[in-house]
Amino acid sequence: MKKRLVGVLLVSLIAGAVATGCGKADVSSNEDVDTNNEEQAAVEDDAKIEENAKIEDDGDAADIDLDDYDSFSKKTDVLPEYEYPGPEAFYYEVYDYVEDLNESYPEADVSIPCIRIIDVDESDKSDIKVYGDFYIFNYNLAGDTLTCASGGDYPGVMHVMFDEDGYEVTKFDVVADGEDFIPSAKEIFGDKYEDFMKVESDQEDREAVRAQIISNYVFANNLDVKYYQDYGWDKQSLPEQNIDSFYSVLD
């Protein structure tokens, strides 16, 4: 529906531009032109444009065309920065580190991590190892929808140090791309390689976790957002928030 309305608006704008252009040509070549008729035509064209521009509010901004990538990825500067909403300082540091991976992408309204942890080795507090699949998604706001403009996957092992000052990520071993993916994943994950491959290949679980993290962000910031959407795909409804149960205390 929106695409059709934008098309109508575009046709009206073109018609108005053509009419205005012809009028100017007449003015310069014919002193006897009826200026009152010209002004009335301009008013009528403006009225048509305004009428076509009015659409019933269906949750999307009127100037957003979700079938056009430039419009789809339009930055609005109205969203609060993502912050991990759970009580654990450890996971706050992990999520904050993943959020900073957005520096490799064009700036968006908000960057939201999607983290699926496979295992945590706490045997050495100076080098806590977090094995997982770490995604970063960068979103812009379009009405009641977060549209994903960019993102990436960073599977690997995050090294976290704990001392009297708290937690700090000291190193991040990321699995290589392309033909080096499997050998580097085996080297980095070791005996957890099979578990990693099960998690990495489970896109349904990834989307469920992704949607839940978005929903909790929306709830924590009291936003009127109901959907998220990848370019070229249908909108996905957000689940109910579950901040109290989704995040738990680290043992």
Q: In terms of pLDDT, which residue wins out, 96 or 4?
A: 96
Give the C-alpha distances (Å, rounded to integers) separating 40 from 20, 30, 36, 37: 12, 18, 6, 5
Q: How confident is the model at residue 73 (pLDDT cuts 50, 70, 90)?
A: low
**48 pLDDT above the threshold of 90:** no
Element of type H or E holding 244: helix 243-246
pLDDT at 8: 33
Q: What is the mean pLDDT of the chain?
A: 79
Q: In terms of pLDDT, which residue wins out, 148 or 72?
A: 148
pLDDT at 247: 80
The stretch 28-35 carries a mean pLDDT of 40
Answer whether 0.85 is exceeded by the pTM.
no
pLDDT at 61: 44
Task: Please answer whether residues 117 and 139 qualify as being in contact, where contact means their C-beta atoms are separated by less than 8 angstroms.
Answer: no
Beta bridge partners of 152: 136
The stretch 80-107 carries a mean pLDDT of 94
**Cα dihedral sign for 62, 66, 68, 74?**
positive
pLDDT at 5: 30
pLDDT at 78: 82
Q: Which of 42-46, 111-115, 146-150, 172-176 bottoms out in mean pLDDT, i.e. has the lowest?
A: 42-46
Q: What is the pLDDT of residues 226-242, one digit of tens each?
A: 999 998 899 999 999 99
Element of type H or E holding 137: strand 128-142
Beta bridge partners of 133: 116, 155
**41 pLDDT above the threshold of 70:** no
Q: How confident is the model at residue 17 (pLDDT cuts 50, 70, 90)?
A: very low
Q: Return d(Cα 60, Cα 236) in angstroms, integer.
A: 14
Q: What is the pLDDT of residues 3-15, one digit of tens each?
A: 323 333 333 333 3
